[in-house]
Amino acid sequence: MLLKIAKLSAILAISSLALNATEFNAQAEKDRIALEKYTIAKFKDPMGDKYTFFPYSTDEELKAMRSNIPASDFKDGTYSYNVTGKKFRDDMMEMPPFDENIEQGEELYNKYFTKCFSSPEVKGEYPKFDEKQGKVITLTNAIINCAKDQGLEISKKAWNYDTGLTADVEAYMAYASQEAQKKVNIKIDSAKAAAAYEHGKQIFYTQRGYLELSCAECHVQGAGQRVRLEYMSPTLGHVTHFPVFRSTKEKLLTVENRVRGCIKDTGQIKPKFDGKFLGDLIYFMSYMSNGMPLSGPDIRK
């Protein structure tokens, strides 16, 4: 069903250009509702729907999987259905390894970023389509741009798109947004923004790389299934918990880092951090979680 929706995106993108400002998100909202319904149906009864949704999973895996999951719980990613994995996460969250990152992020925010953001509680409003620049601006982009404006060093050892000081500020902003009970609130309010969304959707559903995989094959159709020792996360809720502390790397990482890493794993060249490809893709992914509660920063293996 979702793949059929994707195939219609080119035609719908053209028609969306004539819509009024309040209707530019009309198709995106249909896509989001379809994805939400699909995801809820998929995890309603994993064992009973084995041959519909989980043809490659074992009975043991499916019996151990949580069922009847409400939409808002998918903010936890794989931990929404992976009971064993959630216990690992919950144990680590007793004493989060990123507490110091949040504290440092707060200090940095108050020192450098109050001029650029109206409040630290704006995590759910990013990414945004910037009409002046004609492109999508993620929260990471916005932090880097603000740092540049103030003459701060942009490098792998200082402010960068992957981790470090940028991820610390994002962690504080995510924490502040979560404490304020903010939700993902992505806007599509112009023809150019709608076109960026449609481009991101096209990227998401298109097979690429030498493995000829699309994002959707792993994170829509493949959500809940295992690849080697890891379970694939559902697209619904994907962006709600970033930045994440990866226990295998022992550091906080941005959503850009994760998406680029996933793209590389499918046999593609990693896209530029501030390019149209990555920005539009994250814009689409973020809209798919619209209305969901923010839960970051969080922990992943």
Residue 120 forms part of a structural domain: no
262 is catalytic: yes
* Size of the chain in residues: 301
Q: If residue 252 lies in a helix (H) or strand (E), which one and from where to where?
A: strand 251-253
Per residue in 116-154, pLDDT (tens digit) is 999 999 999 999 999 999 999 999 999 999 999 999 999
Whole-angstrom distance, CA of residue 195 vs CA of residue 16 = 8
Residue 268 forms part of a structural domain: yes
Whole-angstrom distance, CA of residue 241 vs CA of residue 227 = 22
Predicted TM-score (pTM) above 0.75: yes
Among 116, 146, 215, 262, which one carries the catalytic annotation? 262
Residue 162 forms part of a structural domain: no
Contact 154, 166 (CB under 8 A): no
Per residue in 46-104, pLDDT (tens digit) is 999 999 999 999 999 999 999 999 999 999 999 999 999 999 899 999 999 999 999 99
Residue 267 forms part of a structural domain: yes
Domain that holds residue 18: 2-97+182-300
What is the pLDDT confidence band of residue 192, given thresholds at 50, 70 and 90?
very high
Which comes out higher in pLDDT, residue 15 or 175? 175
Residue 260 forms part of a structural domain: yes
Residue 109 forms part of a structural domain: no
What is the pLDDT confidence band of residue 20, given thresholds at 50, 70 and 90?
low
Residue 108 forms part of a structural domain: no
Q: Residue 206's domain is classified under what CATH number? A: 1.10.760.10
Structurally, the chain folds into a number of domains equal to 1
Residue 155 forms part of a structural domain: no
